[in-house]
Structures are given as C-alpha cells and as structure tokens.
Structure 1
C-alpha cells in the first residue's frame, strides 16, 4: 500500500462551486431552497483564474459546465468569455444569478490582480439571456464610503420585491462586514447598509434562503481564516446570528452552500489559500445542526486554476447550447486515485504526480491522441511541448521527442482499461509490455506488473479536466 504523504500548495480566492442538485428555476440563487431540484440537473460555473506564479492568471469571466456539480468541464479552452472594459479592467469573485424572468445577471468585484489598494465603490455587471453572450456592461455603485465592494452575491428578497446584493466592505466599525444594497434592475441600487456584523472581520457571505422557515448565511471570519454559519428567521439586516463551530482546511474562505435533492445532504464548499489554493468540501445531513464532515477529494474536480467561483443550475438545453457556443478543451488532466490532490505532470521531462496547483500549469495538460503504435490505444502528447510524448524508458515514463521509430511508438502507446482499484476510473496498460501498467511510485510515473492492492491503487487514475 502506498504511504506517500500528500502536501499542500499556494493560494486561491473565495467562493467556489457547489454541487449536487438544483433546479432550473425562474428565480433565486442556487443557495435558495426553492432553487433546488432533481438529481442530474446540469450546472454552469463562473470563475476567474490564478496560478502560483501567475502563468495562468486571467481576470476575466470564465465558464465551466457540469452534469453533476462535481466534475467540471472548462469552456472556451479555459479562456475568458468576457472581460471588463471599465473600472480597473479586470474582475475577481464573479457571481451569476438567474433572475425572476429566467435571464441571468453576472456581477463581480472591480479588481484586477492582487493589488488590494484598488478599492472601488462599484462592481462590474452584465446582463445575459443565456450565458452565450454578455450585454449592457456597466459599473454599479453600491455605497458612498471610501472603501471597497468585494465578493458580491445576490438573492431575491420576496418580502421587499427586490434583489439584495450582499458584499464585503469596511464601514465605520473599522473592520470588514457584510453589507447589503437593494435593486430591482441591477442598474441602480440603494446606498449600502450593514447586513451582518458579528463584531470581527467578516467577509464572503453566501445564503441559503427559506430552509424550513430559516435563512442561513455562511461567511468567513477573516481574522482566523475559518468558516462559520449564521441564521435568521427573516432576511432583515442585522437579524443574523452565528450559531456553528468553525469549518476549515488551513485558511479557508468563499463558503458555498448547496443541498442534494437526491439524498437531502447539504454540502459546504470552501476555497483555501493556505495550503496553496485547494478547494475542499464538507457535508452535513442537517443544515440546522451546523456540523460538517469532509468529502473525499476523489469525488470532485474543479476547473483548472479556477478561483472564487459561482454556480447556477441550468437546463439540459442551456448546457448543450453553452458547449456548442464555447467548446470543450482539447486537453485533459489526469488525477491520482489514492492521492487525489495530485495530477500527472512532467518535471525536467520526467513524468510524475504532484500536488495541484503548480506552474507551469500546462505541464499537467495532455492531449490523449490515438496510440502511435495502435490507434485503438492512446498516447499522451504534451501541451507544453507538442513534439514530445510520454514513453517508458527503463520502465520509467519520460517526455521525449517522437523520433518516428516503431520502437518509440511502441513505448509511447497504452491501452485504456477499467481502473484496477475502481472500475469507474481508468488504468493504462503498456502496449509492448502488456503485463505492466502505468502507476506512480515515490510520485514518479512508471510501468510495473501490478500484484498488490496498493499497486492497484497506484495504477488507477481519473481522466478529466
């Protein structure tokens, strides 16, 4: 059995994806009880991207889709679908809301990069009929204070017949609080007022509205890097009180709540920046209890380099239309089964599994092309070095230039099989050494005979994005 210790990495941002079940409502956000529906409903995620050395950083709106809210397919080759033309020329912390009329509004922090001195009273806003185009770009002012408007989210407040935009800002208290501004059209908004102030630095509010008559908001205690839950029987500013213990993995922010209609399970997602930009998920059978247990990382794969995301349920037609409009990646990433925080990559032209994220991030992208020696098999072409392929040499996988020989073609060809440790995953059998499979040993990829349950786990992988 493998005993390799897993390790963490550099920082992401707040609020990533959700998961498991939501309707295609003509109202309300995914965290809202009435927005939940049957299992299998597709989802769209909006996000921006950052990587440890900023080789993959892009401050436009990116989209990904999923059929289960867990495994995500980036659209447009993981490039932005729209980028702000005003303000600071970039965005962070996007949020997509399906409005009461069934169309969408996208909003985001007016901030590019990590220069936190770029404070703005405004947020970016677009209208969109179907997320295939983004129209009526504008900056929306939320307050008159000399400070920021970060991490906007929105929900429909039926008691006011208005949308509430909640966001992080500093008011007269001198620390971050959750503010709220109200709007009917996202063209103008009321001057911000304090929505939630627990007496310490609080950011990143995410709502679940109307759950058995109670409204829940999870947020980050920015002083401790922990997530907390609060609740209220109304949506009135000042009515929420914290009621849970803390949830975190390292320093965690950007909480997202979602309920699985299939099982009734609640999921809480957190975007960590310590350790090093990993998204984690927790689950609970009872939102009112406020207790959470970790979800296995094998069950979810966020888009490459994604940061501080937002998820909304969509119809199957909308899903199909988004894929048609923006296209799916020409590359894959390959995740380890027994170390699901690690992905295939090459370092100094040696194949290995390393903790995500890293730069150059393209070293973990592979084009799975027809096998060089047998087109029913597969060969792994590097995105970073398109003339190079993974091949075995002395049983170790190396990234070498295809010299056109039959020997190279044989060494670089593998057959996909059902995963040796999990038949829903994948294993790769060598073309010219059919008793050997690709596995990791001391994090290095090689081909070996598989004779133990530990080796079966080492030889099992997930091919995704």
Structure 2
C-alpha cells in the first residue's frame, strides 16, 4: 500500500541521488539540493492477450517499495509520439546530471517487427508530470532496427551513452554519445560477444558498470561488467537466468534502501505472465534469488519498461498530477498468478492474462449495507456487485433490497494467512469469509481452527 506523505517525509533525507536512478544509473556528483530517493516510477507501454488493451505510448506507475505498482492516470498514456510510426515500445527513463529526466523509446507501433527504423523518440521532463521538447533523433544510417534504448552517464567522457539493439550482420548493441539528447556522435558497436544479443540494460555501482542482456542463442539473461563502460570492454560473469517459458528485456535496479538489487525480466509475450523478478544482496556475485509472484505485482498489462528512483516530493507530485487508479485488483494469496474476476456472472479466480482484462477490475466502494465495510462494483459492468447467493459469489445488479445490500457487503480484516494481506468477512453471515474453492468464489465458515489451506484460500492482496 502507498505510504502517507508523513511516512515519506520521515523516510526521505537530503543527500545524493542513488546511483540506481533507473535502468541507466546516475553517476558523478549530483546537486546537493536533491533529496534521496524514497520511491520508484515505472515507465512502460501496454499489450493484452487479445490486443484490446494495447497502447504504444508512455505509461507510468509508482511504488513505495519497488515491488507493488499502481498505475497512474487510470493506466492511460501520459505522453504519445506524434512522428515516425506514432507509437513507441521499450520506454527508458533516465535521471540526468541536473536532476531532470529524459525519456527515450523505440519508434515502433504494434507487433510487426520487420520495420527498420533509424530513430528513437525523445522527451524532456523536469519531474515526470509534464513532457516537453518531443523529438526524434537519428542514431545511424544502417538498414536495421533501433530497439530498446538504455542510457547512462560516462564521467570519463563528460557525456551520456545511449546503447540500443541493432544488427550489423548479427544482433549487437550499438552506442552513440551525447551531451544534450539532441545531437549524437557516430554510432559504433558497443557489445558483440560472438553470439546474437538483445535488450541491454546498464547500471553503474561505484566504478563498475553492469550490463544485463539476453543471449538470443539460448534465450537466457546474463550479466556482464566493465571497469570503464567503454565499448567492447565487458566480460560476462553470471550464469544464464530465466523464469517461465521465455524471457527478455532485463531491467536492473538498485534498491533505494540498503545495498540490494532487483532484476526484472519481461515474459516476452502478452499471452504469458507479464514480469518475473530476482533479488540479490551482491550485484558483483552470481547469486540471484527468484522472487515469487506473491512478492510483487507489476503494473497492469505493462511491457518492457524501465524503473527510476524518485523522491518523496516527486512521488506526491506524480500522484497529485496523474492520480491513482479508481479501481483495485484482488490477488489470491496461495495462487498469486490468479486474480478475482467475474465470468458469466460467476465470481472466480483465474490466472492472468485473460480476456476481457477489465473483468478483474473493481471499484471498492463503501459497503452498501454499512459504509464502514466495503462492496465490490464491477468496472466494466457498473451497477453490478459481487454478492453471495446460497453462499456462492455472483455478479448481480442491485435489486434495491436490504438483503442484496447485505449480501454485497464485506468487512475487510487482516489476512487470515498473512496480516499484511486482507480477508473479507461476510456482513450478514459474519462467521463466513470470502474464499476460493476449485477457483470459484464462495463464502464459508472459517473458525480459529481452520486449516492453513482454508486461511490461504480466504486471503487476498488489494492491489
């Protein structure tokens, strides 16, 4: 759950910006007036299984812990390209040396990838609340793609490096250098290890540059490092990583607190899970621990994005400017890839993605029978609520009766399996709790002696 402004103020202290300012790190000495990062912003584009929710524009989400994400602007775009293909993929957000931001993105709209494009989209932003100076910059004159940009400051050059995926006979990473993200140096090969590669993300920790990438030969993610960040100076130091059946788009971020790191990977296809993640306490080692889907919730329908650290004031400014969602999702505790949804007017939990994706979106409103409790109104069928009928959960329109209002009202309590999650007790049958059984929702009695499985079935994360 988001922290309050008071909690943010307590957490935020004046100091240098973390070196993990998002997929491309901030190096050198930042302005001493800038506050320490206390939260995170996530930039992404969207795709859904049936393409109904596809959006090839810049979207933003925020998080206080870097794990549970809430989309801004009701998951609608905050910036849309107006030149080139008029669509973007792979947006990358970099905090520059002056504390402001620049956004880079692939100039590509849709799912057809045989279009060779020499340009990247670029925006400037002081605070991610507005995006100005929109332009495209030409990166090369080759007949190839310009995909998945990442950028970082190179102190030895007093310039930024922009690294991206391209093909010069083999899939490699190219680099151009710039001081203003308007004019760039001639392109050159940045990393060509002898096998095809895709999707670099580069972050510096101290004097070491870390690059994570996909090896197209085996489909795994690897980490490489360099003491200079210069072209062709990296040595791979990790074993291959993968969760799920396919993965790409590694995203490396240092935690705002402590020395830990997280590595994210996109599942490659919108018909699969959106993201996987790992954690480590030692970026220089070869020991990444997979995070379970219970541990994190990516932004809804997010694809191939980037994460940047933000201050408490920036977090508050983003929420004020764009707004948090007017809806929630309910994630199952013991089946964390499944979310509460309605299907044929039956309440159930299903593994996401599914269509229509809006079936899992709920307005959690004051309880129809008791404003201190809650009711769940469908977003795509407004006026219909989850209610129990013969103890089974249905999606029905209110008939205006006291019985319906009681059936559709639940008291939110600490999770029966985990107090940091939530459980929902029936208002008018108060010994019964909302739970799933065979993936179908119902209300059942749950006493203090209920089994661990029963308690888990009745525990959900509001996200």
Under a length normalisation based on structure 1, what TM-score does the superposition of the two structures give? 0.91
Q: Is residue 50–residue 57 contact of structure 1 (8 Å, CA) maintained in 2? A: yes
Distance in 1 of aligned mates of 2:261 and 2:98 = 27
Q: Is residue 366–residue 373 contact of structure 2 (8 Å, CA) maintained in 1? A: yes
Distance in 2 of aligned mates of 1:192 and 1:27 = 26
* 1:8 alignment counterpart: none
Name the SS of the counterpart of 2:314 in structure 1.
helix
1:107 lines up with 2:104 in the alignment? yes
Count of aligned residue pairs for this structure pair: 441
Aligned-pair CA distance for 1:40: 7.1
> Which protein has greater RCO, CA pairs closer than 8 Å, 6+ apart?
1
Name the SS of the counterpart of 2:313 in structure 1.
helix
Post-superposition CA distance 1:180-236 (Å, at most 9, x none): 11111000111211100111110111112144x422111011232210111112111
Aligned-pair CA distance for 1:138: 0.5
* 1:362 alignment counterpart: 358
* 1:47 alignment counterpart: 44
Distance in 1 of aligned mates of 2:16 and 2:150 = 18
1:281 lines up with 2:277 in the alignment? yes
* 1:321 alignment counterpart: 317
Post-superposition CA distance 1:264-305 (Å, at most 9, x none): 222211111367133111122322222212112222111111
Q: Is residue 363–residue 376 contact of structure 2 (8 Å, CA) maintained in 1? A: yes
Q: Cα RMSD between the aligned structures?
A: 2.1
1:25 lines up with 2:17 in the alignment? yes
Residue 104 to residue 263, structure 1, CA distance change in 2 (3 Å): closer
Residue 72 to residue 253, structure 1, CA distance change in 2 (3 Å): same
1:207 to 202, 206, 219: 202
Name the SS of the counterpart of 2:145 in structure 1.
coil
Structure 1 gaps, min length 5: 1-20
Aligned-pair CA distance for 1:452: 1.2
Under a length normalisation based on structure 2, what TM-score does the superposition of the two structures give? 0.91
* 1:11 alignment counterpart: none
1:218 to 212, 215, 219: 212
Residue 458 to residue 26, structure 1, CA distance change in 2 (3 Å): closer
* 1:417 alignment counterpart: 413
Aligned-pair CA distance for 1:417: 0.5
Distance in 1 of aligned mates of 2:20 and 2:156 = 13
Residue 261 to residue 89, structure 1, CA distance change in 2 (3 Å): closer
Aligned-pair CA distance for 1:130: 1.2
Distance in 1 of aligned mates of 2:26 and 2:127 = 22
Q: Is residue 39–residue 262 contact of structure 1 (8 Å, CA) maintained in 2? A: no
Aligned-pair CA distance for 1:71: 1.3
* 2:451 alignment counterpart: 452
Aligned-pair CA distance for 1:316: 1.1
More displaced 10-residue stretch of structure 1: 273-282 or 379-388: 273-282
Name the SS of the counterpart of 2:242 in structure 1.
coil
1:408 lines up with 2:400 in the alignment? no
* 1:16 alignment counterpart: none
Aligned-pair CA distance for 1:261: 5.5
Q: Is residue 378–residue 385 contact of structure 2 (8 Å, CA) maintained in 1? A: yes
* 2:370 alignment counterpart: 374
Aligned-pair CA distance for 1:24: 6.7
Aligned-pair CA distance for 1:118: 2.2
Name the SS of the counterpart of 1:297 in structure 2.
coil
Name the SS of the counterpart of 1:251 in structure 2.
coil
Name the SS of the counterpart of 1:273 in structure 2.
coil
Residue 365 to residue 279, structure 1, CA distance change in 2 (3 Å): same
Aligned-pair CA distance for 1:69: 1.1
Q: Is residue 18–residue 36 contact of structure 2 (8 Å, CA) maintained in 1? A: no
1:147 lines up with 2:144 in the alignment? yes
Name the SS of the counterpart of 1:324 in structure 2.
helix
* 1:240 alignment counterpart: 234
Aligned-pair CA distance for 1:424: 1.0
Q: Is residue 123–residue 133 contact of structure 2 (8 Å, CA) maintained in 1? A: yes
Residue 292 to residue 38, structure 1, CA distance change in 2 (3 Å): farther
Name the SS of the counterpart of 2:247 in structure 1.
strand
Name the SS of the counterpart of 1:438 in structure 2.
strand
* 2:79 alignment counterpart: 82
* 1:229 alignment counterpart: 223
Structure 2 gaps, min length 5: 1-11
Distance in 2 of aligned mates of 1:219 and 1:24 = 28
Q: Is residue 198–residue 216 contact of structure 2 (8 Å, CA) maintained in 1? A: yes
Name the SS of the counterpart of 2:149 in structure 1.
strand
* 1:392 alignment counterpart: 388
Q: Is residue 26–residue 99 contact of structure 1 (8 Å, CA) maintained in 2? A: no
Residue 153 to residue 52, structure 1, CA distance change in 2 (3 Å): same
Name the SS of the counterpart of 1:299 in structure 2.
coil
Aligned-pair CA distance for 1:328: 1.2
Aligned-pair CA distance for 1:33: 7.6
- The 4+ residue runs of structure 1 with deviation greater than 6 A are 21-24, 35-40
